[in-house]
Amino acid sequence: MAEKLDTKGITVKKADDMPQWYGQVIIKAELADYSPVRGTMIIRPYGYAIWQKIMDYFNTILKDLGVENAYFPLFIPENFFHKEAEHAEGFSPEVAWVENKDEDSQERLAIRPTSETIMYDSYARWIRSHRDLPLRMNQWCNVVRWEVKDVKLFLRSREFLWQEGHCVYETEEECDRETMMYLEEYATLLEDVLAVPVVRGKKSEKEKFAGAKYTTTIEAFMPDGKFLQCGTSHNLGQGFAKAFGINYVGKDEKEHLPWQNSWGFSTRLVGALVMQHGDDRGLVLPPRIAPIQIAIVPILFEKSKKDTLRACSQLKKKLSKYEVTIDDREEYSAGWKFNQWEMKGVPLRIEIGPKDIEKDQVVIVRRDTSKKYFVKNEELKEKVEELLEDIQNHLFDKAHEHLKKSIVEVESWDEFLAAVDDRKIIYAPFCGAKDCEDQIKDKTKGANSRCFPLEQKETSKKCVYCGSDARLYAYFGKNY
Ligand SMILES: [Zn+2]
């Protein structure tokens, strides 16, 4: 017999043991579960509903930007991987291979860790002239990175879901501009929808995508003092075009190499939401991403049951522009239901019983502050709108305050080490060299450069670790 899941309340405090707390919230809020296959996870309907909302939001953005969705195969012929040398080297430890060979070519097949190579093979055939450009395509799919051994639900797993956008342009300027544009769309998704503040920047040579000219990133900062990379946008330059034979005839009738970018975010965003906003009673969801925004819990008595349930349906109708659920299950007590909707992070709970009906009012409780409001029916719509807006802003402001307060500028290596111990965001002049960064990571047991922030103050200072010239400041910290 399988062991049944423990669905009772959370037994550790977020501040005491964040990893334990995180695991319990994901399981008990029914977002995801562990799977019998090592390194993989199961996304349950409530977790998938959040992902679905992220997809819905982003598909609208993609449509506006002229990006079309498509789907490419899960399997990639081995020789595709060897066409772009840096890319092949960067991904080789992560690739899972299929035991059966391709019957035609007798070649080994990889399970995609990312789709640049399989897509660009087709792009080489589809793109002929400048009239075919820009080409903007995206796919929603799963990818596999075999090196991951121990699953951290939504944060690290061998298989995960993501979107990957792949565009081709005539000019470098256009490619640069749109690489930054997609990054900015990611930042908007995180900040305006998920209420997770981010820093935007460029990755160091060590941390950039294998085969890219440069990689840009958005990084969130979690309450336990670790960064979480939430999305990246890469300018691929012309390296892949050269390797895959993508070229076009320009207006000048001559053949040219195009410029390319690729950009992606994954189901990891669900993990960011949980860690950023959750509390000791469970999940706390920002209204704009919550699959259920309002849970109505009727206070049922035998005598008044019919009237109460009727009042609930009227309420739901009145609030039809929101995602509303009526929890009319009779086998559970009202108190049990309150706990459950709190665990699931539903932004507003509305309680309604016979006494409220008499007074023509409802009781509204907000999830983020637990504050209770007695609201007359005639003021209900305005109040609900105001509270949802307020919760969204409050969650962002709280997280933003923490991020801002965590940044410390350091001048010396001693200050750097102290800031690593304090789990701060370290802002320091950095040379950007790979060996320097390897040593920093080694000496701090895991802190690395997260990005060179986009907004820079020019500096003539020396690198905080090696003392050579540092033109730019970088953010450092440990990360998930
Ligand atoms: Zn250095």
Indicate whether 160 and 53 sit together in one domain.
yes
288 in a structural domain = no
pLDDT value of position 345: 98
How far is the centre of ligand 1, averaged over its atoms, from the C-alpha of 147 (Å)? 29
The whole-number pLDDT of residue 2 equals 64
Our count of domains for the chain comes to 3
CA of 466 to the centre of ligand 1 (A): 4
CA of 210 to the centre of ligand 1 (A): 22
Calculate how far, in angstroms, residue 467's C-alpha sits from the geometric centre of ligand 1: 6
298, 212: one domain: no
| 406 Cα–ligand 1 center, Å | 23
Q: Left (φ > 0), alpha (ψ -120 to 50) or beta: where does 110 sit?
A: beta
Question: Residue 63 belongs to a domain with what CATH number?
Answer: 3.30.930.10
Question: Locate tokens 């299929």: which residue?
Answer: 98
468 in a domain, yes or no?
yes
For ligand 1, the distance from its centroid to the CA atom of residue 419, given in whole angstroms, is: 18
| Domain extent at residue 327 | 294-387
Does any domain span residue 174? yes
* 168 part of a folded domain: yes
Separation of alpha carbons 151 and 158, rounded Å: 7
pLDDT(132) > 90: yes
In Å, how far from its chain's centre is CA 194? 9
Mean pLDDT of all residues belonging to the chain: 95
Crossing angle for the helix pair 45-65 and 172-188, to the nearest 10 degrees:
140
Do residue 240 and residue 312 come from a single domain? no
186 C-alpha vs ligand 1 centroid, how far in Å?
Answer: 30
pLDDT band at 457 (very low <50, low <70, confident <90, very high): confident
pLDDT at 390: 98
On whether both 268 and 314 belong to a single domain, the answer is no
Phi, psi angle pair for 95, to nearest 5°: -80, 135
Query: Residue 246: phi, psi to the nearest 5?
Result: -85, 120
**Separation of 438 CA from ligand 1 center, angstroms?**
10
Is the model's pLDDT at 407 over the cut of 70? yes
Q: Give this prediction's pTM.
A: 0.95
Residue 169 shares a structural domain with residue 238: yes
For ligand 1, the distance from its centroid to the CA atom of residue 445, given in whole angstroms, is 17
327 in Cβ contact with 309 (< 8 Å): no
Which of 38-52, 124-138, 336-350, 445-459 is the least confident region?
445-459
Together in a domain, 377 and 412: no
Residue where a domain stops, chosen among 217, 247, 277:
277
pLDDT band at 78 (very low <50, low <70, confident <90, very high): very high
Is 283 within a domain?
no
Residue that the structure tokens 């395509």 belong to: 137
Percent of the chain with pLDDT over 70: 99
Domain CATH code at residue 473: 3.30.110.30
CA of 435 to the centre of ligand 1 (A): 8
Q: Are 316 and 324 spatial neighbours (Cβ–Cβ below 8 Å)?
A: yes
Domain match, 189 and 304 both = no
Is residue 95, in this structure, part of any structural domain at all?
Answer: yes
CA-wise closest residue to 379 among 393, 359, 355: 359
Same domain, yes or no, for 242 and 325? no
Could you tell me the distance, in angstroms and rounded to a whole number, from the CA of residue 442 to the centre of ligand 1? 13
In this structure, the answer to whether residues 219 and 333 fall within a common structural domain is no
Is 1 contained in some domain?
no
How does residue 4 score in pLDDT terms, banded at 50, 70 and 90?
Answer: confident
Q: Are residues 136 and 255 in the same domain?
A: yes
Residues 171 and 306 reside in one and the same domain? no
Domain C-terminal end among 217, 249, 277: 277
396 domain residue, yes or no: no
Query: Does one domain contain both 223 and 352?
Result: no
Q: In this structure, are residues 10 and 21 in contact, taking their beta carbons and an 8 Å threshold? A: yes
Last residue in a domain, options 352, 387, 422: 387
Q: What is the C-alpha to C-alpha distance for residues 431 and 476, in angstroms, rounded to an integer?
A: 13
Check which CATH number belongs to the domain holding 324 and give it. Answer: 3.40.50.800
Instruction: Point out the least confidently predicted range of 40-44, 112-116, 147-151.
Output: 147-151
